[in-house]
Amino acid sequence: MTAVVNGKARRASAQQRSLIARVLATEGVPILLVLIAILVALMALAPNAFLGWRTYVSVLINYQPQIICALGLTLVIASGEIDLSFPSVITLTSLIFAAFYRFDNVFWLNWLAEGRTPEEIKAMQAQLSWLGVVAALGIGAFVGFINGALVAWIGIPSIIATLATAFVWRGMAVFLAGGKQFALRDFNQTDLWDITTGRLFTGLFQSGDVVLRKPDGIPIQAVIVLALAVLLWFILNRHRFGESLLFIGDNAHVARVVGIDVKATRVKLFTLMGALAGLAGMFLTMETENFTTTQGQASLLVVIAAVFIGGTSIFGGSGTIVGSYIGILIVVMLQIGMVAMGLGGDIADMVIGVVFVLAVILHMLVERPERLKGLGFGNR
């Protein structure tokens, strides 16, 4: 009698355990719990900042370029490579877009402005900015292609190749800028701005009678980037190209043996990354309506950290888009939280470092719970 009862009980708890285990094994859940824990802590420590919507909307407005790069980098790292040149690509494509809008300000386009009235120039600005979109994305893809060619056809390890090209793209940006900086005045009056950088649901965010150039609302860039994240998830996990990346990252020899064209896939990968960096650069300029020659430079380590915090493995063969998206949010919320409390950026860096290490340990444990036993926990 007792034995039967015990047997039933054991089977039931086995089912329960597997449900929890299954939920934890779903992509992104462990790191999402970390993010939620951090947000709860911040809401307690800095309630005015984290219980209202303004802080979150501000993040959505200003962090899209970093998110785009983290998403692209996830694919790169999953295939066993790294790209250190994306900050410079951002600078370059940021400039390209700014230059098309302010063609009167760059030595290689200002011939278009000769003999035109200010009104004509303004109209041309709006038109040329569309061309600027094509140019920025195209140039981004092109420089990515060069990165890919160096890695795949010439065989330079990606860490070295992209480190080297980072200098080239940045220098090119400064050169083409004629050493100047640009303000994209009145860009937010154009149709292009409405489509890419405008605000949605402004009705929900009315803040009195204040007339603002950029109304409060959900930035369209955030929506676009979210859609991009979904697309990239499907590409990595459900598309032939993504599967090739996973196999190459797992073991390039195996990939070759099962018939994957490793060289061509690598070139496509870096071209894609370049195009994404181009999108990021463009979005950055569109939102800040400004270009300076140091645009985008310092984000390298934080974006890379976010990808690893999110759970993508440095060894290649797997990658999580969901994790990288959450990883950026974790890093950002920690940075913002520290400043909101009046603590310096250096304290934020320390906290981020600790969270980084803990997150990586968490991912290792989720992947292989046996490691816990090795540490002496759980004697069953």
Q: Is position 206 an interface residue for another protein (rule: CB under 8 A)? A: no
Print the binding letters for residues 110-149 with another protein: x by CB under 8 A, - otherwise.
----------------------------------------
Binds another protein by CB under 8 A, chosen from 36, 231, 254, 264: 254
Q: Is position 54 an interface residue for another protein (rule: CB under 8 A)? A: yes
Q: Which is nearer to another protein, 145 or 205 (CB)?
A: 205
Q: Is position 55 an interface residue for another protein (rule: CB under 8 A)? A: yes
CA gap 85, 339 in Å, rounded: 29
- Least distance in angstroms from the C-beta of 247 to another protein: 5
Q: DSSP alpha helices (H): ranges in 289-344?
A: 300-309, 321-340
The DSSP H or E segment spanning 219 is: strand 218-219
Burial class (CB in 10 A: 0-12, 13-18, 19+), 73: buried
Q: Is position 187 an interface residue for another protein (rule: CB under 8 A)? A: no
Q: Which stretch binds another protein (CB under 8 A): 4-12, 147-155, 179-187, 194-202?
A: 179-187
Q: Which stretch binds another protein (CB under 8 A): 13-21, 28-36, 180-188, 265-273?
A: 180-188
The footprint of another protein on residues 10-49 (CB under 8 A) is 46-49
Q: Is position 284 an interface residue for another protein (rule: CB under 8 A)? A: yes
Q: Is position 180 an interface residue for another protein (rule: CB under 8 A)? A: yes
CA gap 96, 92 in Å, rounded: 6
How many positions of this chain bind another protein (CB under 8 A)?
Answer: 80
- Least distance in angstroms from the C-beta of 157 to another protein: 19
Binds another protein by CB under 8 A, chosen from 109, 121, 172, 183: 183
Q: Is position 294 an interface residue for another protein (rule: CB under 8 A)? A: yes
The footprint of another protein on residues 85-104 (CB under 8 A) is none
Structure tokens at 124: 């041309």
Contact 218, 60 (CB under 8 A): yes
The footprint of another protein on residues 316-355 (CB under 8 A) is 317-318, 332, 335-337, 339-346, 348-349
Nearest to 320 by CA among 133, 73, 85, 145: 73
Q: Is position 240 an interface residue for another protein (rule: CB under 8 A)? A: yes
CA gap 64, 135 in Å, rounded: 20
- Least distance in angstroms from the C-beta of 276 to another protein: 18
71 Cβ contact partners less than 8 Å away, ≥ 6 residues apart: 225, 228, 229, 232, 276, 321, 324, 325
Q: Is position 271 an interface residue for another protein (rule: CB under 8 A)? A: no
Q: Which stretch binds another protein (CB under 8 A): 120-128, 155-163, 187-195, 253-261?
A: 253-261
307 Cβ contact partners less than 8 Å away, ≥ 6 residues apart: 70, 73, 74, 77, 323, 324, 327
Q: Is position 230 an interface residue for another protein (rule: CB under 8 A)? A: no
| DSSP of 185-203 | TTGGGSHHHHHHT-EE-GG
Contact 97, 282 (CB under 8 A): yes
Binds another protein by CB under 8 A, chosen from 40, 234, 357, 364: 234
Give SS3 for 290: strand
